[in-house]
Each structure stands twice: as C-alpha cells, then as structure tokens.
Amino acid sequence: MGRKRKAYSINIRDEVIRLYKSKRSLKQIEIVVFQNWYDSKNGCCEYCGLKSEESLILFYKYPVSTRGGRRGKRLELDRINPAIKNYGEDINNLALSCYWCNNAKTNYFTYEEFKVIGDKIKEIQQYRINKINSQDRLTKSIEANNL
C-alpha cells in the first residue's frame, strides 16, 4: 500500500542541488562542500527545527502566508550576517532556514537573537504539524471504516 503523502516526501540530493542553484554566488563553493554543510544541518531550519517536508505541509495548509505561493514550499538559505552579500564568500555565513523564520528574522535580528525566537516558533509549528497529522489520521480512519 503506497503512502498518500508521497507529494510531501523529498529527495535529499534534489534538495541540495536546488538550494545550491538558488544563489549564483554559491558556485564559488564546491558542491561537495555545500553538501557537507547541508548534511551538518540535518535538513532542519536552524531556528525552529522545521524539516523541508514539514514546510511543504504548512505551505499547503496556510497558502495565504506564502507570498502568493512563491515561498514556503521548501527550506531556504539565510545569511547570518546580511552585510555579507555574497553567498559564496563564507559558507559559515549560511543558515538553513524555513521561509517563516527567514521572513521574520529579516536583517534586524542576529542569528543568536533569532534562535531564541525560533524556540517559540518551533512550539507553534509543531502544534500545527501535529494538528494536521491527527486530522489526516482521523480522515483516513473515517475513510477506511466507511463512516
């Protein structure tokens, strides 16, 4: 039996390539270095811990929050120090971030400050994900039992 959630699963290799190609200046970094950097992040938003597949779930559930569907499907790259404009200049200046954290952090909060805020965002994101998942389980149960 195939999983209904197939659209939500992500291929890590595709995800790395997508992120790598999302910023031209990343070409200055070898993709293997970028891949290692990505692996060290465990595929999670560094601020709230959201995974890319969870981002997709929230994207579909809260479409009005995604700038007309242009943001939020996947994790994004945030510059820790926004004064460094070149993404390829220093890989340690990159943070893996969900759209919601990246959008809220802007250039105002520092990485350390936003980590504090991210802890609270995490609670809310996990609450929403759990709610969506339990609704899905209920729907499946109703369907399976022809209720």
Nearer to Zn ion, 88 or 128 (CB): 128
Q: Residues 119, 74, 84, 91: is their CA dihedral positive or negative?
A: positive
CB of 118 to Zn ion, least distance (A): 6
Tracing tokens 């109703």 back to the chain, one arrives at 142
The residues, ordered by sequence, that sit 6+ positions from 50 with a Cβ below 8 Å of its Cβ are: 44, 58, 75, 98, 100, 101, 122, 125
Nearer to Zn ion, 52 or 93 (CB): 52
Interacting positions 108-137 with Zn ion (CB under 5 A):
none
Nearer to Zn ion, 26 or 98 (CB): 98
CB of 87 to Zn ion, least distance (A): 19
Q: Using an 8 Å Cβ cutoff, are 128 and 61 in contact?
A: yes
CA dist 22 and 43 (Å) reads 16
Q: Which of 6, 33, 5 is nearest to 19 (CA)?
A: 33
Question: How many residues at the interface with Zn ion, by CB under 5 A?
Answer: 6
Interacting positions 44-63 with Zn ion (CB under 5 A):
45, 47-48, 50
Interacting positions 53-112 with Zn ion (CB under 5 A):
98, 101
Instruction: Give the end-to-end CA distance of the chain in Å, rounded to a whole number.
Output: 21
Nearer to Zn ion, 4 or 62 (CB): 62
Interface ranges with Zn ion (CB under 5 A): 45, 47-48, 50, 98, 101
